[in-house]
Each structure stands twice: as C-alpha cells, then as structure tokens.
Amino acid sequence: MMSKRDVIDMIIMTNPQMATLKPLLLSLIEDDDMGTMSMKPKKKRSTAYQKRYKANFKKVSPQFKLKSGKWKKNGFKNAVKKAHKLSKK
C-alpha cells in the first residue's frame, strides 16, 4: 500500500508543473494526521432518570433556600433526598 507522500511524488513525476504545490500538499497531509489525533471524545448523554432528577431538583430547591438565595441548614442535603424520592418511577 502506498503512503500519501508516495502518491504526491507520483503525481509530481507525471505532471512536473505540480512540483510547486508539493510543500502545500505535504503540509495538508501533516495537518490531516494531526487532526485525527486530537479528536475530542463524545460527550455522554443524560439518561431519562437524570433528566427527571434535574427537573425535580429545580422544582424542590426553592423550598430549602433562604430569601437571600443561600441554602438553609441541611437544605441541599434535604433537597437532594426529596428530588431523588420524586424521581423514582
């Protein structure tokens, strides 16, 4: 199997006018090789339970907060408990 560099050399041998483009073509190959290495991993999708929990937590959290927006004593813990309880099937 021929490498990309070999293909470029064959093109230049058959068409000498393409010799001026060789540095550009080689840089494109290097950029292409770099791009495949730095691909980001896919993000995980939220499950149905996580979506229900998120909605329930947003609904319940104001009950456990002060007027200033700070959490009451044990408020976050209790909000989490209640949201989990509501999220069960």
pLDDT in tens, 17-46: 888 888 888 888 776 655 555 567 888 999
Residues 52 and 80 in one domain: yes
31 shares its domain with 57: no
Count how many domains the chain has. Answer: 2
Domain span at 10? 4-36
Instruction: Assign 62 a pLDDT band (cuts: 50, 70, 90).
Output: very high
Assigned domain for 67 exists? yes
Instruction: Give a yes or no: residue 28 inside a domain.
Output: yes
pLDDT number for residue 12: 85
With vertex at residue 81, the alpha carbon angle to CA 75 and CA 87, rounded to the nearest 5 degrees, is 130
Q: Is residue 43 part of a domain?
A: no
Look at residue 42 and tell me if it is in a domain. Answer: no
Please give the average per-residue pLDDT across 79-89, as a whole number: 94
- Average pLDDT value for the chain: 87
Does the global pTM surpass 0.75? no
Q: How many CB atoms lie within 10 A of CB 82?
A: 17
Nearest CA among 66, 85, 88, 87 for reference residue 75: 66
Identify whether residues 83 and 53 lie together within a single domain: yes
Cα 72 to the center of its chain, rounded Å: 35
Give yes or no: residues 28 and 52 share one domain.
no
Residue 86 tokens, joined:
């509501």
Structure tokens of 18? 């393409």
For range 59-71, the mean pLDDT: 96
